[in-house]
Amino acid sequence: MSSKLLITKKMRGDDGYRVFSVRLKTELLDQVNALADDTGRTRNELIGMLLEFALEHSEVVNEH
């Protein structure tokens, strides 16, 4: 039995999430912040929920 605490390196993004930056109009960010305040959810959580909903309800169409 080892008397040392063995700690493995955690790979970045190992939890299935990735961090990235996005630019939003001030008005849009204000709406997200207000929704976060009203619901008690984090801004990050709400943005993820909103993106998932938008992707599930989006359709690509060809314009001619």
pLDDT for the residue 1: 67
Separation CA 43–CA 45 (nearest Å): 5
For 10-46, how does the pLDDT look when each residue is reduced to its tens digit (9 = 90+)?
A: 776 677 888 899 999 999 999 999 999 999 999 999 9
The confidence score (pLDDT) of residue 27 equals 98
For 50-62, what is each residue's pLDDT tens digit? Answer: 999 999 999 999 9
Sorted by sequence, the CB contacts under 8 Å of residue 47 that are 6+ apart come out as: 32
Distance CA 45, CA 16 (A): 14
Model pTM greater than 0.95? no
Residue 9: what pLDDT? 79
Residue 59: partners with Cβ closer than 8 Å, 6 or more residues away: none
Query: What is d(CA 53, CA 35) in angstroms, rounded to the nearest whole number?
Result: 15
